[in-house]
A and B are shown apart, each in its own frame.
Chain A
Amino acid sequence: MKHIGVVVFPGSNCEYDALAAMGVLGAQADFIWHSETDISGYDGVILPGGFAHGDYLRPGALARFSPVMTAVAEFANSGGAVLGICNGFQVLTEAGLLPGALQKNRGLTFLCQPTTLIVESTKSVLTRGATIGQELIVPINHFSGAYTCDDATYRALEENDQIALRYKENPNGSRGDIAGVANVGGNVVGLMPHPERAMSNLLGGADGRVLLEGFVNAPVGAR
């Protein structure tokens, strides 16, 4: 059985959804409090949504200095599967584990709605079970979700097949309609939409399942 750790920062609020999604997929999942410095024994780590450290200064700006992030960076650099959802994505960009940054939405509105995503690459641990061009309906729930990067970074993202997911209709002003990106190795991935909230047809849709299933079953330590 796969063992997934869900990091909890003060102000996280999607950790129970992430934990429940892991349970649905047959994985064992535990919370990891942000002050932990040892995360050995996990097959994958999720940074969930919320407002870590109140989002003070900038989303993710203080969370990246939480003690657990040193261990998360080591885990990521050794090929471990790391997934940042929404606020977790913001934390991963602030920590430099993923390129670019997340800015306030175009139009300055908090967005909470279903979005259609298009799978752009199957190289990442999140999209490895999906097919290129596949459309998935997954909700977004954020204020700072406009993906931003400079021209050189954007070219590198395209050349290295790091753009995992794009929005079919750009809701927030993200550069290149980007909804999710991976690192060069594909083992670290972040996305603004919430796949853990799209796990059941009874609750509006199960399109998040193919993403999280791929993540849970990613080969351990695979780069």
Chain B
Amino acid sequence: MNYPVIVDVTLRQGIADPEGATIERALPALGFTGVTHMRAGKSFRMDIEAPDEASALEKATALAERLLSNPVIENATARSGTKG
């Protein structure tokens, strides 16, 4: 069976995030105040063929650690997605 999975890749705590900081600085000029701790990241959507959801997530975590993220600076987490 195919399980939809989403992998979120974010910069590790303590790693500078110039993209997130720039977005945060732009917000007040657009009238959005009170927004802090903005962090930019990436998300990947995929379908994974597996016997059950747990093994699909396990496979997603493994491929996220091997390719989708650079563990030196990034964290990756896999979660269930929705079909479509």
Contacts and interface: CB of A to CB of B under 8 A. Distances in A.
A171 interface: no
The interface centre, meaning the residue of B15, B16, B68, B72 with most chain A CB atoms within 10 A of its CB, is: B72
B8 to A, nearest CB: 14
B18 A148 contact: no
Determine the main DSSP class of B at the interface with A.
loop
Contacts of A65: 67
Interface string A58-86: 10010001000000000000000000000
A104 B70 CA distance: 14
Interface of B: 14-16, 18-19, 22, 67-68, 70, 72-73
A108 to B, nearest CB: 5
A103 B68 contact: no
A100 interface: yes
Contacts of A223: none
A148 B73 contact: yes
A176 to B, nearest CB: 13
12 contacts: A57-B67, A57-B68, A61-B70, A94-B70, A100-B72, A101-B73, A108-B18, A146-B18, A148-B15, A148-B16, A148-B72, A173-B18
Contacts of A34: none
A103 B73 contact: yes
Nearest to A108: B18
Contact of B72 (A57, A101, A104, A173): A101
A58 B18 contact: no
